[in-house]
Structure 1
Amino acid sequence: MIETWRPIAKEAQDYRDSTIAELPGSIPKTLPNLPKKVVEILPELLPAVETTIVCLSTSSLVNQISGGRISASDATMAYLKRAAMAQQLTSCITELLPETALSRARHLDEFWAEHKKPIGPLHGLCISVKECIGMQGLRLSSGYCTFWNHPPPKSDALVLRILTRAGAIFHARTTVPQTMAQLETVSSLWGTTVNPWNTDTSSGGSSGGESALIACGGSVLGIGTDTAGSVRIPAAACGLYGFKPTAFRIPTIGWSSTLPGADTLLTTLGPLCKDLDGIELFMQPSLIPMLWTPVEISASAEMPLRIGIMWHDEVVLPHPPINRALKNIVSRLSVLPNIAIADFKPYKHDEAWAIFSSLYFTDGGAEEHELLSRMGEPMQPLAKWIIDDNPCVNKLTREEQDYWLEKREEYRIEYVKHWNETGSFNDQNGKWEGTFDVIICPVAPWVASRHGTARYMSYTSVWNLLDYPALAVPTSEFEIDGFVDKNLDGAERTEDFVSDVDEEMRQMWDPEFYHGMPLSLQLVTRRFQDEKLIAITRYLRDQFRESVDILGDSDSMQL
């Protein structure tokens, strides 16, 4: 096999660097002897005014720009500079868009100066875009060297057109992994994107460029894609919110994927953001005819908020800090009014993985191999794991594909029944009748994976198979300890491993190595209950904050 991919990879990286060089003014060069936790040094690298801008919450930023207190041009320049720095520290972008973004910002400023009002609800908000989402005239590689010189799309993806009308500015495109099917963002084109909280860990995949950039403050909000956890796992790894909506709540027209028979597993577009306000703000423009309709949750409601806790999936048990986070949130919930809590038992999640992975590459990965072979591009190890080493991935006949699609529908029906029966609350007075409103569970067995080790995705992929909306939430938002603590999380698990893969994932745990990494959990509701999921998360966050104000330090409530 003749290798011709190396010159293309160099061209891609040179092009990326040239777009950063187009940024007006000078950008500080990477400091020598960088710490592994590079998020600590970022405030030192830009002027205080620009650092203040990129540290604003999403709603504050939009309000200040929309109110004319910060210009869109100043905000855009701050995010462009921080994105350039983030690239040096984590290798997270495929190209910077200074000319386009600054031109757009000037237009918005001129509109505001003339009309004294914003152009839309996202007026002046810088949004980063995962590279697989099409932008007019810009390359669309999906992580393959062979796609580098393909003709670019002639128009923006539909979601970008909608957000543009709402006033958004697109200032950066972010890295994706080879095949778009890895939980780590690594490719021949751009190398490995690292986690700014610990550069020896992954920022996740396949939206790991987005998570690294946002965690570095190089973007306030980004657009990712999620087929098996590709928004939520990167968000959790970097301490962010990551939302996988019900399929087609956000239009997918104009994004690139090589998965044949893509309707077998529904990929969704979803936002990553440093705060919950940004997630909801992103969802509010009219992305589809089903408008975003906010839901109200009240402590005085006739029925309590019914919350299920899924401690593990019976296949792989989560690492100690995730167990601690679950225990702490149960402790917190137990003192809140009008909330009912019960354990949620997972339903055949091992079977869900068999169905999911059988439908992932219905041609047995033939297209992926063919695309790589065109330039002799080597298959990345985690791509090989999901395609070649996965016994469930086979070339399916039409009859075999129909069989697995039937299994998918059967599993969805069975899960609805299981959810209803497992979450049936009924006290002696019949007060708590009904089923779970929301499930809280891990996002992954780990807080972030060491490079090359992310070989488990069932904590997220099961909800893709069911098409349930799911949200990764930093536990710091719930006013419980939001970071790994080697003094609290150092105890080894003593019980037997529940599976071979559980033993493999357990070997990743090292309290010293993970100390200080952000912690996250996942909230899940039923299909098309997207607004309810966001409302419950906001309600719990606000209730926990109020309880901290009343009761004091959260450490006193840890189990």
Structure 2
Amino acid sequence: MVDRREFLRISGHLAGTAMLTGTALRAHAAADPSYLSATALVAQFRRGQLSPVDVLDAQIRRIETLNDKVNCITVKHYEDARAAAHDAAARYRRGNARPLEGLTVAVKDEYAVNGWRTTMGSTLLKDVPPAQDDGPIAARLRAAGAIFHIQTTVPEFYVWMTTATRLWGVTRNPWNLAYTPGGSSGGSGAALAAGFTTLALGSDMGGSIRVPASQCGLYGFKPPFGRIPTSEVPYETDGPMARTFDDMNLLTDVMVGPHPLVHSSVRPRLRYPARYESVSGWKVAYDPMPHMTALDPTVTRAMAQAIAALRQAGVTVDTVDVGFNADDLDTYMAGLMSTSMGGMMTEAMKHPEQLMPYTRAVFEKMQGKAGPEALVHTEELLNEYQRRVQETVFLKGYRALLTPTLGTPLVPAEHGMQPDIDSAKIGDQQVTGLKFALTWVWNMLGLYPVVSVPAGLGPGHMPIGMQIIANTLDDLTAFQLASAYSRAASPLYVGNRLPDFRNEQV
């Protein structure tokens, strides 16, 4: 990952085929190895029924056919990927395959990969020197046999929940091109939804894994701070994204663990088992977070269906109100910008004319608000929210907390591109800014593990997501519940529940 100090170091380089649609796309995808799960692919690779080269070639064909519609890739790294796929095929033949052998992983334009540029979605960084080494996660995944074939789009400096920049253009959602795949890991989410990759990397400092997971019908994990070696900013973390729970679980198990160069990384290493026990008899709380945002009626219905699936698995679900409030977002943002994120903000604001409207609006709003006092206020809010979560949920005997991920899935792809285009639709109302997201509290409360799971499809064929939160550092409880949910709920990416690249405003 390129951290904020790295941004300050490189800031001296700042710069003054035929289309298928609808039913045909779904039928094509159903027979395409591009959409096979990682766990299924590994099994077929081991049996010699399929080769990593076959899957990579199929995904490249999809990219070349469909990415003009989606626009989720910054740079393609096909030559190196093909060499890695041939090496992976040879390892399977020799019987010495590694955990992620031959699986493609889309890399968010934030991770440091040897020889790759990290632009952070900004024209200010389009000519920065490439990385000289793999960062901790890239090195760990490469050693596990992963294949890096594409770099994926992000909003400028990762500060927005849609993915549109002057440098790379507008990234669109394969489920419905009129809407965003989310942000800031929107390119990774779109790549998974489009069948361009088997696994993907994201990062999260306000919902940047969970929002795209919700928008793209994926499983995404915001680990507790330190579980994955990321940075020293306590509000952010790297994390995995995938189309199935088992794939997310597999990728997580490779990503986690202490790293000698990342002081915050937690010891000892946690192992994520391939299978989890039943959750029958559990008590779980559900907070619709009414003081954060209104919920689109389709989100309310999707949450009811997701809760019903858990009840069928033997889980008792009670409604609670922790008391999270949307007005506290500014306090969190001021605290975030009082970390090394603030150094990036200061440097970027030397070139305000080159910033995206949403970037400039966020940074201008934070001018004069960051600093020691802001950190004090954020810490006070954190302590208050911690007390409420414990007293309302975990001290009452609940094993986990459920919340929606977003108030609405209907966020236009161009949201934030212009100063007057920053609204989303909730029911019959238009809401502005980013307060429709129910994610940022778990970045401030950074030690809570959060899994975002798909809760169903809403209007416009757009996915809806649900967050599963376990107690601090209790990842395996969140994963156990998410695993049970994934087996009880109706899955996406099967039958007619596939992206069809429609373009319809609801």
| TM-score category (smaller protein) | 0.7 to 0.9
Q: Which moved more, 1:405-414 or 1:188-197?
A: 405-414
**TM-score, L = length of structure 2:** 0.81
Matched, 1:460 2:460: no
Matched, 1:315 2:317: no
Given the alignment, which residue of 257, 261, 265 partners 1:288?
Answer: 257
Given the alignment, which residue of 118, 125, 148 partners 2:103?
Answer: 125
Between the aligned partners of 1:292 and 1:86, the Cα distance in structure 2 is 38
Q: Which amino acid aligns with 2:317?
A: I
TM-superposed CA distance for 1:279, in Å, is 0.6
Matched, 1:483 2:457: yes
Preserved CA contact (<8 Å) 2:279 2:481: no
TM-superposed CA distance for 1:188, in Å, is 1.1
Preserved CA contact (<8 Å) 1:96 1:173: yes
Q: Against the structure 1 CA distance between its residues 220 and 287, is the aligned structure 2 distance closer, same or farther, given a 3 Å change threshold?
A: same
Q: Tell me what 1:54 maps to.
A: 34
Q: Which amino acid aligns with 1:56?
A: L
Provide, for residues 304-340 of structure 1, a one-character-per-residue CA deviation record: whole Å limited to 9, x for no partner. 3121111234131111111111223344444543x33
Q: Which amino acid aligns with 1:274?
A: R
Between the aligned partners of 2:288 and 2:489, the Cα distance in structure 1 is 20
TM-superposed CA distance for 1:444, in Å, is 1.1
Query: Superposed, which structure 2 residues align to 1:244-263 within 5 Å?
Result: 244-252=222-230, 263=233
Between the aligned partners of 2:478 and 2:394, the Cα distance in structure 1 is 19
Indicate the SS of the match to 1:171.
strand
TM-superposed CA distance for 1:206, in Å, is 0.9
Q: Against the structure 1 CA distance between its residues 299 and 231, is the aligned structure 2 distance closer, same or farther, given a 3 Å change threshold?
A: closer
Matched, 1:404 2:374: yes
Preserved CA contact (<8 Å) 1:423 1:435: yes
Q: Against the structure 1 CA distance between its residues 407 and 377, is the aligned structure 2 distance closer, same or farther, given a 3 Å change threshold?
A: closer
Q: Which amino acid aligns with 1:88?
A: D
Q: Which amino acid aligns with 1:422?
A: T
Q: Which amino acid aligns with 1:439?
A: L
Between the aligned partners of 2:109 and 2:188, the Cα distance in structure 1 is 10
Residue ranges of structure 1 left out of the alignment (5+ in a row): 1-7, 10-27, 32-37, 254-261, 426-433, 476-481, 485-513, 547-559
Q: Tell me what 1:212 maps to.
A: 190
Q: Tell me what 1:371 maps to.
A: 348
Between the aligned partners of 2:87 and 2:394, the Cα distance in structure 1 is 55
Q: Tell me what 2:360 maps to.
A: 384
Indicate the SS of the match to 1:440.
strand
Matched, 1:96 2:73: no
Q: Tell me what 2:50 maps to.
A: 70
TM-superposed CA distance for 1:358, in Å, is 1.1
Indicate the SS of the match to 1:472.
strand
Root-mean-square deviation (Å) = 2.8
Aligned residues: 447
Q: Tell me what 1:521 maps to.
A: 466
Provide, for residues 222-262 of structure 1, a one-character-per-residue CA deviation record: whole Å limited to 9, x for no partner. 00111101111111111111211112212226xxxxxxxx7
Given the alignment, which residue of 103, 111, 116 partners 2:95?
Answer: 116
Matched, 1:443 2:405: yes
TM-superposed CA distance for 1:170, in Å, is 0.7
Residue ranges of structure 2 left out of the alignment (5+ in a row): 1-13, 259-267, 416-421, 424-432, 492-506
Preserved CA contact (<8 Å) 2:245 2:486: no
Give aligned-pair identity as a percent.
27
Between the aligned partners of 1:107 and 1:294, the Cα distance in structure 2 is 27
Preserved CA contact (<8 Å) 2:228 2:255: no
Q: Tell me what 1:413 maps to.
A: 383
Q: Tell me what 1:168 maps to.
A: 146
Q: Against the structure 1 CA distance between its residues 336 and 93, is the aligned structure 2 distance closer, same or farther, given a 3 Å change threshold?
A: closer
Q: Which amino acid aligns with 1:81?
A: R
**TM-score, L = length of structure 1:** 0.74
Q: Tell me what 1:240 maps to.
A: 218
Q: Against the structure 1 CA distance between its residues 210 and 334, is the aligned structure 2 distance closer, same or farther, given a 3 Å change threshold?
A: closer
Preserved CA contact (<8 Å) 1:184 1:206: yes
Between the aligned partners of 2:406 and 2:357, the Cα distance in structure 1 is 20
Between the aligned partners of 1:350 and 1:146, the Cα distance in structure 2 is 32
Q: 1 or 2 for the larger relative contact order (CA 8 Å, sep ≥6)?
A: 2
Q: Which amino acid aligns with 2:295?
A: P
TM-superposed CA distance for 1:366, in Å, is 7.5
Between the aligned partners of 2:223 and 2:42, the Cα distance in structure 1 is 23
Preserved CA contact (<8 Å) 2:164 2:171: yes
Q: Tell me what 1:34 maps to.
A: none
Q: Tell me what 2:7 maps to.
A: none
Indicate the SS of the match to 1:63.
helix
Between the aligned partners of 2:62 and 2:438, the Cα distance in structure 1 is 33
